[in-house]
Structure 1
């Protein structure tokens, strides 16, 4: 993998979380190979749904679903609504692992990370976020490798809804992978001060961010969005690099207006 190299420390952290720290994978190279093998299969993460571009591709959006979802549920929306406005964009819709959550360990649910709730505050499991972010970086690197084989280079975006938005924001603030833009819909800010290896303010200012929320969100209230904006600005974001939208009468969902705004945001970056 030419574009992304997992450090030895990251390999061991992922290996520990995936429970592959055994005698069989006692060396970092063996553990790294096993991680790539798992990321290439559906043993941990679920099926990947793709919406191919209608014309010669110039961009890719990796979009992560919310809690309890799967990537395929977003296919209709992207194929029918967004692909018509972005005919040269490929959409990759991954699926989170099945996991038992702390709030209800009696059943498994698709989730990018476990979390705890205290009042209005949701605190994600940072090790879960780290592994999910590594997986998304893996998918992005594979896309870039495929493009180089065809002697072309596309713009790469990452985004998501709800949990997927939180994962995308985590990657934005911690990840060195060169995404060209981030889309965060109806998500929230983890405690970024707890992160290790936070990205520099200068790097974050270079990455455009589209962040949106509904003013009648019945799962994550608008105050969560306001707190996220505060944290982002404290970490170096300015209004010049960030497009923030609040949609009237929108609950924990998406809307035609929001989809249109996403298309406009992506087009602006592609035409820059």
Structure 2
């Protein structure tokens, strides 16, 4: 399926939490491996801002190397989770193009890129980070939960000049068994070489595993409100 059709499908099937008043901003939030957009749409609904549209697309199903080639919702193939593991470069770039197409679609409907924020959890957070940092248009910010920066060796060169001042909220559980907090710390160090260090916040939560918690979601809401203020 070509990129354009895939992005249209992603948008058509996405779970959208509409604003309770005129929508002047959008948050595109990407779920983790094997999940769907439904859970995160509910989570965001609990802490929503009335003028923000929340879009939670579902990843397409594909065989995942890390999970014995079993087919499951995945933004791109995962071969390993360590920082030196081989990566699905073409899959990551293709997935990123599909997310950029959603941003373009919102722009055509009246929400400009600088009023769009990307976010995600785990593999979805990884894709959000990569897409936001390489996007040629200036975005409002990115929320990166329990994740890493894909193709990290290509940065800072791969980063677009448009997003050097982009705010990033990065959060990680200190007891995460899937993506250890050390990987989050390595990502944080790398991000400080890509965006202005004062634009990047890294918060860790003791006892939090590979999931979210209410305290983290309040932080996410405050970050969205700060960088997508009501017009």
The 5 A counterparts of 1:164-179 are: 164-179=124-139
Q: Residue 52 of structure 2 aligns with which residue? A: 89
Matched, 1:68 2:34: yes
| Whole-angstrom distance in 1 between the partners of 2:90 and 2:12 | 19
Question: Shift of residue 119 of structure 1?
Answer: 5.5
TM normalised by structure 2 equals: 0.89
Q: Residue 252 of structure 1 aligns with which residue? A: 210
In 2 relative to 1, CA 106–134 (structure 1 residues): closer, same or farther, beyond 3 Å? closer
| Whole-angstrom distance in 1 between the partners of 2:156 and 2:203 | 29
Q: Residue 126 of structure 1 aligns with which residue? A: 89
Question: Which deviations, in whole Å up to 9, do the C-alpha atoms of 1:74-114 show, x marking residues without a partner?
Answer: 222121x221xx12111000111111122345420111111
CA RMSD of aligned residues (A): 2.5
Question: Shift of residue 68 of structure 1?
Answer: 0.3
| Whole-angstrom distance in 1 between the partners of 2:81 and 2:101 | 33
| Whole-angstrom distance in 1 between the partners of 2:119 and 2:88 | 19
| Whole-angstrom distance in 1 between the partners of 2:189 and 2:177 | 21
In 2 relative to 1, CA 197–131 (structure 1 residues): closer, same or farther, beyond 3 Å? farther
Q: Residue 107 of structure 2 aligns with which residue? A: 144
Matched, 1:163 2:123: yes
In 2 relative to 1, CA 154–59 (structure 1 residues): closer, same or farther, beyond 3 Å? farther
| Whole-angstrom distance in 2 between the partners of 1:251 and 1:135 | 30
Question: Shift of residue 57 of structure 1?
Answer: 1.7
| Whole-angstrom distance in 1 between the partners of 2:123 and 2:92 | 10
In 2 relative to 1, CA 72–205 (structure 1 residues): closer, same or farther, beyond 3 Å? same
| Whole-angstrom distance in 1 between the partners of 2:80 and 2:96 | 22
In 2 relative to 1, CA 119–204 (structure 1 residues): closer, same or farther, beyond 3 Å? closer
Matched, 1:229 2:168: no
- Name which of 146, 150, 160 aligns with 1:190: 150
Question: Shift of residue 59 of structure 1?
Answer: 1.2
Question: Shift of residue 137 of structure 1?
Answer: 0.7
Question: Which deviations, in whole Å up to 9, do the C-alpha atoms of 1:137-165 show, x marking residues without a partner?
Answer: 111111111117xxx89710011000011
1:174/1:196 contact within 8 Å kept: no
TM normalised by structure 1 equals: 0.76
Is the radius of gyration larger for structure 1 or structure 2? 1
Question: Shift of residue 249 of structure 1?
Answer: 1.4
Question: Shift of residue 38 of structure 1?
Answer: 3.7
| Whole-angstrom distance in 2 between the partners of 1:196 and 1:212 | 21
Question: Which deviations, in whole Å up to 9, do the C-alpha atoms of 1:45-88 show, x marking residues without a partner?
Answer: 88211000112222100000000011122222121x221xx121
Q: Residue 73 of structure 2 aligns with which residue? A: 110
In structure 1, runs of 5+ residues without a counterpart are 1-17, 19-33
In structure 2, runs of 5+ residues without a counterpart are none
Greater Cα shift, 166-175 or 131-140:
166-175
Matched, 1:217 2:217: no
